[in-house]
Amino acid sequence: MTKTTSVSYLVLLAYFSFVIISSVLVGVLPPLVNRPLCKSNESKISISKRSIESKKIDICPELTDFEIGIILPWDSYRLPKNVIPLNYEIELKIPSLNSKVYNGKSEITVQISESLDTFVIHKKLMNVNITELRDSKGELLEISCAGDYDKYDYYIFKTRDYISPDSSPLTLKYTFEAHLDKYESGLFNFNFGIDKTKSMIVSKFEPIDARKAFPCFDEPNLKATYSISLYHPNNTIALSNGIENSEIDSTGMIKTVFEITPKLPSYLISLSIFDEDDIVPRYSRSSTGRSIRLWSRKELADAGYADDPLVMAVDILNRLESLFEDIIDALPRQIDILASPLYPVDSIAHYGLAIFKENKILFKLNSISESERQQIALLIAKQFSEFWFGGYVTFEWWNELWQQEALADYFKYRLVDEVYPEWKIYDQFITEELIRVLVDDAFPSSHPVIKNINTPFEIEEYFDSVERSKTAAIFRMMEEETSKETFLNAIKSYLEANSWGTGNSLLFFSQLGRIGPWRATDFTDRWFKQSNYPLLKLNKVVSPNGTVWLNIEQSRFINTNSSVFAGDTIYPSPYNWTWYVPLNCVFGNGSDLFNQKFYISSQKQIEMIGDGTKDYEYFHCDIKFSGYYSLNYEHANWMALTDLLHNGNYEQVLSPNDRSNLIHNLFMNAFTKRLTYFDLSETLIFLLRERDYLPWKTLNFHLNEMLSLLEYKKPFYQVATYFDYFLRNIENEVNLWETSGNHVEELFKQTVLEIACQLQDFDCLDKTTYLWDTYKPYKVDPLFNNTMPAFMKRLVYNYHLQNAYTVDDWELVYTEYRTIEDLSEKEKFLESLSYTRLSWFLEIYLQRLEDDLINFFDKIKFLSRNNLGREYAWNFIRANYDSIVEEYGVDDPRLGQMLIDVSSTFETESLNYELLEFIVSLENGASINARYRALEKVSTNLDWLNKRSKEIIEAFGGPKKYILPK
């Protein structure tokens, strides 16, 4: 079938039925979205080969003339296993911060494990020449031919004779010339500052972009030591992975030599060069005397934006040094933290040089909200943890990326909880990660933690919430079943056994021993190799002889059965959708409680409650919300829990974590029709009394998901009216607009106000305009020293501009956005500009900021949240997609996330058709799963709105008994 025929066929089907559309997605869409990638991007990189001085070497004929049926040793995404790098000596010459190209030399010492005559190394977007090959005795070995194999980013050379392993270690010498200004990956430069006249160079090698900076063996298990020398312009500073030593060479350039690194994977090497007057350091030391330098723009450092984060970083590092005092050698002697004005991800913890996007680390205590402050602390904790999980011990291949990302993600909550115990951050894992990934992982197209990964596109898109948050949630469940100490000791044993090598996950799991009755390795197999997660349906049964039992049914939880991916289409289950589940339950009669733990191994299981002689009024499970699964009770038990929440002293029976669990499961079961919205609205009346943060934050998340689809639709008014009564009750007791010295209390206030304003509560909107007028900046201030309480800023900016139909205020914020130096405030202004309901301003928003590449993806994300703005964003993406790909590269995973962002609230058949038509027109790239997810989300939206809108109107709009017993 040709492309034209396929597209026309799908377009025709789209007009008839979304069910039919779904049915052809697997058969037709994958071939279309997986078409071979054209090489136009690489061909546009122009580098003069004449600038590389080397002996002319013939091109290997195997690289240009292929014989059918002949398997070439390099015809694979994986490097041959017979060459192991030991050490790199890399020399780069950067003529200026605005250079387009740079030259380099590389000397690599390798060990070979078998006789060979072919050497394969990674390189991309650069010209490479092999100049010399010597054996262990220094003898020169003759090279017969060489050349590029761009299909897999390889440079290949062959020797005249086979080389024996006895001749190693060998020394390979290369010269190369690479590009410095492409795709925000590899080694790249950019301009910054209000007038964009300042420049700097940074690197972003994770996951597979070190090959863009220098020839290397760019796979995580091929660890080696690195000696790096940089030649860079006078009056500039260079940073890399170790302590530096700089001097002026004979040409007037600075030569900076860095101490040799320990064994590291190529993706953790990092480089940066900047003007000494633009980026300046702040200094401190850890409790063990390690030097810590935080580098940031001078104007921000002078204004105090680097001082508080440096204190926070030292506090977190001190605790890490204490926890890992037996394996302290994982830490570099010097740690540099670079706050970069532009970076394609929030942060990467390269060994010794952690690079952060500027607005993700710089702050002043008196101008940042508590929610922003804890996010920065968590990010620092995660990056510092990766000195152990990633650098000290590295995973073998990308399908075990969780050994770095998930371990660090889990550990950051434990770490910050010990540094700032008053924040109660470990419990906030529920609202910051758990409920979010439970929603993401409920889509039928979701993937297992461990899956086959081969291509660069598959590697790029593996950095997602399933790989990170889901695995961290499983670790949290395992820790709850073992103990905090047991889990930490297992981590330490895993690190010590694999020091400066590659990780063996089986060793880690074996250190845990058993999870309940199961071996840890068997337990994790069930959770890591199956997509989605279990739904446990629980009901209490009394047998004829009076024995009381708990009946348990286990099945795969997915949020829709209409998707073609609902079966075993993409990732078949090796265990027939059966998990090993530790289930902790509490049974109660009033405040008389009985706790019992069950271990679920089959799809149907019945367990005696206690000794079977006592019945209970109610029960609830997944105590402390520590599990990674969904629960649904029999209707009678839901009603009993509702009565408990309405009439009893529920705080004594249900912790805030447990109440969050109930709210989450109510929404998930109502969405999937296992419960009705009448059940949900009846139970949630207990929120009249609720004053804890976690339940309200859980409600905020699910309500936001719901309201994003209901805006401008009939059910919105009933839902808003229903919750408005609860909000008024809180406002009568708590001054929500007053600052508080209590971290969790401020989070509670901010969350309730976010709900109120989103529901268009008149008092909330009126207050935002009053505060806007009070704190309105009448004079442009580059640092915007606004005295408005920090937790109110985003609310005030967003909702005032949403409901104020004045040109002057929008223009004022736009002016502030263009001139302000503080990128944290800049991001708030960028978001608020997208909130306007004046359609011509939304068009201006795109037109005026079209050249603002630093905030491009944020701009699309913010605009897509506005029901009116998403049309402008969607039309812009379709009209300019080729230019966007040219700017960022087809392998940038942000392209896929952009598609999800803009389409997440699509809810009409015409938009669904437009999305389908657009997706089938795309080339391959690092967003295949994102395209599936976008289509799946839109079809789910349509199904939900069509079938549930009437029920929602009746459930939330009907008479309610809002008075609860005291």
Binding residues: 405
Show Cβ contacts of residue 299 under 8 Å, excluding neighbours closer than 6 positions.
Answer: 782, 783, 821
| Measured CA angle at 270 (ends 265, 275), to 5 deg | 170
Q: Which of 809, 725, 715 is nearest to 761 (CA)?
A: 725
| pLDDT on residue 563 | 67
- pLDDT computed for residue 504 by the predictor: 80
Q: Is the pLDDT of residue 54 over 60?
A: no
**Residue 14 predicted with pLDDT over 60:** no
Residue 616 has φ and ψ, to the nearest 5°, of: -135, 150
- What CATH class is the domain 79-275? mainly beta
**Per-residue model confidence (pLDDT) at position 137:** 95
Burial category of 924 from C-beta neighbours within 10 Å (exposed 0-12, middle 13-18, buried 19 and up):
middle
Q: pLDDT tens, 240-268?
A: 999 999 999 888 899 999 999 999 999 99
| Closest C-alpha to 241, from 332, 317, 166, 306 | 332
Sign of CA dihedral 568, 571, 575, 580: negative
What lies within 8 Å, CB to CB, of 302 at 6+ separation is none
Q: What integer is the mean pLDDT of 691-705?
A: 97
- Two tokens at 529? 């190799």
* Per-residue pLDDT at 52 exceeds 70: no
Count of CB atoms within 10 A of residue 646's CB?
18
Question: In 3D, which of 197, 199, 223 has the Cα closest to residue 210?
Answer: 223
pLDDT band at residue 478 using 50, 70 and 90 as cut-offs: very high
Question: Scanning the structure block, which residue is given the tokens 């914020």?
Answer: 813
> What is the pLDDT, as a whole number, of residue 622?
97
Pick from 803, 807, 828: nearest CA to 817: 828
Q: How confident is the model at residue 460 (pLDDT cuts 50, 70, 90)?
A: confident
Q: What does the alpha-carbon distance between residue 799 and residue 563 come to, in Å, rounded to a whole number?
A: 36
Please give the model's pTM, rounded to 2 decimal places.
Answer: 0.91
pLDDT of 149 higher than 70: yes
- CATH assignment of 723-957, given 3.40.1130.10, 3.40.50.970, 1.25.50.20, 3.90.110.10? 1.25.50.20
45 Cβ neighbours under 8 A, 6+ residues apart: 125, 179, 182
Q: What is d(CA 356, CA 369) in angstroms, rounded to the nearest whole number?
A: 19
Which pLDDT tens digit goes with each residue over 508-547?
888 888 999 999 999 999 999 999 999 999 999 999 999 9
Greater pLDDT, 24 or 965: 965
- The sheet carrying 581-589 orders its strands as 592-600, 581-589, 618-621
On whether the CB atoms of residues 664 and 670 are closer than 8 A, the answer is no
Per-residue DSSP letter, 76: S
Where is 583: in which H helix or E strand? strand 581-589
Reading the block at residue 479, the tokens are: 């820790």
Strands 143-149 and 101-112: unpaired
* Tokens coding 294: 């935080």
Q: Which helix (H) or strand (E) holds 752?
A: helix 743-758
User: Which CATH homologous superfamily contains domain 429-633?
Assistant: Aminopeptidase N, middle-beta domain (2.60.40.1840)
Contact 628, 438 (CB under 8 A): yes
**Which of helix, strand or coil describes residue 863?**
helix
> What band does 852 get if pLDDT is binned at 50, 70 and 90?
low
- The reply to whether 79-275 and 429-633 are identical in fold is yes
- CB of 845 within 8 A of CB of 871? no
Structure-block tokens of residue 706: 């719901």
What pLDDT score was predicted for residue 777?
54
Tell me the mean pLDDT in the region 930-936.
89
Burial label for 500, CB within 10 Å (0-12, 13-18, 19+), is middle
Q: Which amino acid does the sequence have at 466?
A: V
Distance between CA atoms of 441 and 428, rounded to whole angstroms? 19
What's the token pair of residue 705? 């998901």
Q: What percent of the chain has pLDDT over 90?
A: 71
Q: Could you give the angle at which helices 656-671 and 635-647 cross, rounded to 10 degrees?
A: 140
β-strands 225-232, 83-93: how paired? parallel
Q: How many CB atoms are located within 10 Å of the residue 220 CB?
A: 26
Q: How confident is the model at residue 858 (pLDDT cuts 50, 70, 90)?
A: confident
CB 387 within 8 A of CB 330: yes
Q: Is 787 exposed, middle or buried (0-12, 13-18, 19+ CB in 10 A)?
A: exposed
Nearest of 139, 199, 144 to residue 170 by alpha carbon: 139
Instruction: Give the model confidence (pLDDT) of 557-583 as tens digits.
Output: 999 876 666 666 688 999 999 999 999
Compute the mean pLDDT over every residue in the chain, rounded to the nearest whole number: 88
Q: Contact 472/438 with Cβ under 8 angstroms?
A: no
Comparing 820 with 836, the larger pLDDT belongs to: 836
Quick check: 18 pLDDT over 60?
Answer: no
Q: Where are the domains of the chain?
A: 79-275, 429-633, 723-957
Using H for helix, E for strand and C for coil, what is the string for 538-558?
EEEEECCCCCEEEEEEEEEEC
What are residue 107's DSSP bridge partners? 89, 173
What integer pLDDT is reported at residue 845 of this predicted model?
A: 86
Assess contact for 938 and 706: CB atoms under 8 A: no
Distance CA 109, CA 100 (A): 29
pLDDT in tens, 383-425: 999 999 999 999 999 999 999 999 999 999 999 999 999 999 9
For the annotated binding site for Zn(2+), the residues are 405
- The edge-to-edge listing of strands for the beta sheet with 630-633 is 604-608, 548-557, 533-542, 630-633
| pLDDT at residue 2 in the model | 37
